[in-house]
Chains A and B, each alone.
Chain A
Amino acid sequence: MAKILMKGNEAIAAAAIKGGCKFFFGYPITPQNELPEYMARELHKAGGCFVQAESEVAAINMVYGAAGSGARVMTSSSSPGIALKQEGISYIAGAELPCVIVNISRGGPGLGGIQPAQSDYFQNTRGGGNGDYRLIVYAPATLQEAVDLTMEAFDVADYYRNPVVISGDGMIGQMMEPIEFKELPKREIPPKDWATTGTKGKRKPNIINSLALDPAELEKHNIRLKEKYDLIEKNEVRYEMYNIENAELVIVSYGTTSRIVKNAIAALKQEGINVGLIRPITLWPFPMKAFDEIPKTVKALLSVEMSMGQMIDDVKIANKGRYPVHFYGRSGGMIPTPDGIAQKVKEILGGVK
């Protein structure tokens, strides 16, 4: 299939439909509006249904109902909107339902701004909802990757009966790039015999629920969830290692920021400074094992983010105390520049060469 030029938000929406998404419930918020708009135009043609909810809270609960009925369902929003959805996300995770949640993030806290930011790292990977739960979080760096991951996300969500987050920022949502909708390998999904589709008089009633008043029962549920999360950590970690061999310093960066980092790495190479990159593609599970592959030539690590340093804790855990960990970040919608990153690398390595 030939490549086509699409805007990020629309490309993610188109990929979702190709991934089998039949239902979309959302509420407008900048900078992701082209996504629900695309769904409003196109989803019914795929035999599905788009509903604009009265709020983000209602939207995620519509997702909860549709997911419980066994449908492939998605919602999208941006940072403060995702904050409102956290209650429902906790319920969906608790009831072990599959769904895909897109967060095209912007600067915060509070109402923040509408420019790109990565300051939802905690919100995406730790969750703002209550209880012991985890979300699988994909952080695409290009629109092609966003499309591939979105298509696959529905399979992954169904496979584990767990919500999957596509974590992009305003840049991913708003930029245009050529993309191709490729056939991806499908997973074998167990039948959704747990769904509330009506008993048809043929089976006992199904109950979709996250309430367990007996503490022993709830603990058992949490232990079982943890076993599932352990399995996800074992099987679903994704990352990219870039220019690692003979590197003096390794930058850890994800999403659109990692593209700027690659430009900084190229510029530094011109000056004879060899810098590598670890790019987490899954923010959770975080690619801890990538850090075991760091060569002995490396003197330090540098976490580069469009936030005030939310990923640095994970970098430190993954580093296991082996190298000093530094931080460079911009926030509020300010974008890091290759020059700014290169300057920081030179400072760490002991002055301009």
Chain B
Amino acid sequence: MAVVFKRTNGLKDIPTHYCPGCTHGIIHRLVGEVLEELDVLGKTIGVAPVGCSVLAYDYFNCDMHEAAHGRAPAVATGIKRVDPDNIVFTYQGDGDLASIGAAEIIHAAHRGEKITTIFVNNAIYGMTGGQMAPTTLIGQKATTAPYGRDKEHSGMPLKVSEMLATISGAVFVERVAVNTPANIRKAKKAIKKAFEVQMEGKGFGIVEILSTCPTNWGLAPTEALKWLEENMIPYYPLGNFRTPEEAK
């Protein structure tokens, strides 16, 4: 019988710790598949963040380096500068990247650091128990925004892709979502393109992936996917913000 689906060699054969319905598992698989298809697992070093995906270093089937909260792009800079032929990626959530690590991501992009960032945006702090993130939507409830995020009090949700697309060193910026099979396929295509841009030595690439947090949003997994579509995508439009051709 023909094999139509199998585990990617890009991930280790061990169960993950993610909550039921969380889309980290899908995103891990997409990254693993891309690294395997590009045949770069043997020369890839991933940098895991702090937050829900802190244990990502246990899951990817390549060398991994754990970083402090927000510092993954700086750690990745050190790794990439030691051996520019290696493929280096960071895997970061929105608390990690858009809040405490805002300086590191902006300046890694600004230097045109030849790394790839997988940015998982679920509009909330997951690991610490559902606090407000810079990406939390207006009106969205979080444990530290119990009445819903208020613009006057906390500002508007940060649009990371739009912001990074203004930086000349960021040569590939795309926002995708993993809420439907069609969008998952588009997400994989974007991830692959981001790694190819790195392999071609063109500059910094980031894929922002809209993701769900059923546990902290207080929704069933299928309702969470619907909430993403109805609430996140209108504010965080999907699409490409920057290609190497535009960056020239």
Q: Chain A interface (Cβ within 8 Å of chain B)?
A: 22-23, 25, 49, 51, 53-55, 57-59, 61-71, 73, 87-88, 91, 95, 196-202, 205-211
Contact = CB atoms under 8 A, between A and B. Distances in A.
B57 to A, nearest CB: 5
B75 A64 contact: yes
B167 interface: no
Per CB-CB distance, the 8 closest pairs between chain A and chain B, nearest first, are: A65-B78, A61-B74, A66-B78, A54-B107, A65-B75, A62-B78, A196-B63, A198-B43
A206 B106 CA distance: 28
A61 B45 contact: no
Nearest to B45: A196
A69 B45 contact: yes
Contact of B76 (A65, A198, A209): A65
Nearest to A91: B68
B66 A25 contact: no
Interface string B64-106: 1111100100111111111100100000000000000001101
A207 B58 contact: yes
A223 B44 CA distance: 32
Interface residues of B, number: 38
Contact of A54 (B42, B63, B103): B103
Central interface residue in B12, B64, B65, B103, by most chain A CB within 10 Å: B65
Interface string B120-156: 0000000000000000000000000000000000000
B64 A205 contact: yes
13 contacts: A49-B81, A54-B107, A62-B75, A64-B78, A65-B76, A65-B82, A70-B82, A91-B67, A95-B66, A205-B64, A206-B64, A208-B66, A210-B66
B164 interface: no
A187 to B, nearest CB: 22
Central interface residue in B12, B55, B79, by most chain A CB within 10 Å: B79
B74 A207 contact: no
A208 B71 CA distance: 14
Nearest to B80: A65
Contacts of A53: 74, 107
Given A53-B74, A65-B74, A198-B86, A58 B107 contact: yes
B65 A196 contact: yes
A58 B75 CA distance: 8
Interface of B: 12, 41-45, 47, 54-55, 57-58, 60-68, 71, 74-83, 86, 103-104, 106-107, 110-111
For the residues of B in contact with A, the DSSP-based class is helix
Given A25-B77, A207-B58, 13 more contacts: A25-B78, A53-B74, A54-B107, A57-B71, A57-B74, A61-B75, A68-B75, A69-B83, A197-B63, A198-B63, A202-B42, A208-B64, A209-B65
A65 B47 contact: yes
Contacts of B68: 61, 87-88, 91
Central interface residue in A23, A53, A197, A198, by most chain B CB within 10 Å: A198
B104 A205 contact: no
Contacts of B77: 25, 51, 58, 62, 65
Contacts of B58: 207
B42 A62 contact: no
Contacts of B106: 54
B71 A58 contact: yes
Nearest to A211: B66
A202 B58 CA distance: 18
Contact of A205 (B55, B62, B66, B111): B62
A205 B61 contact: yes
Contact of A67 (B55, B63, B71, B78): B78
A198 B42 CA distance: 5
Contacts of A87: 68
Contacts of A71: 82
A88 B78 CA distance: 13
Nearest to B77: A62
Given A207-B64, A211-B66, A61 B78 contact: yes
A154 B41 CA distance: 31
Nearest to A49: B81
A24 to B, nearest CB: 10
A194 B45 CA distance: 13
Contacts of B41: 199, 201
A210 B55 CA distance: 11
A114 B54 CA distance: 39
Central interface residue in B62, B63, B64, B83, by most chain A CB within 10 Å: B63
Contacts of A198: 42-45, 62-63, 83, 86
Contacts of A64: 65, 67, 71, 74-75, 78
B92 to A, nearest CB: 13
A200 B78 contact: no
Contacts of A59: 74
Given A58-B71, A58-B104, A61-B71, A205 B63 contact: yes
B71 A23 contact: no
Contacts of B81: 23, 49, 51, 62, 66
Contacts of A54: 103-104, 106-107, 110
A146 B110 CA distance: 36
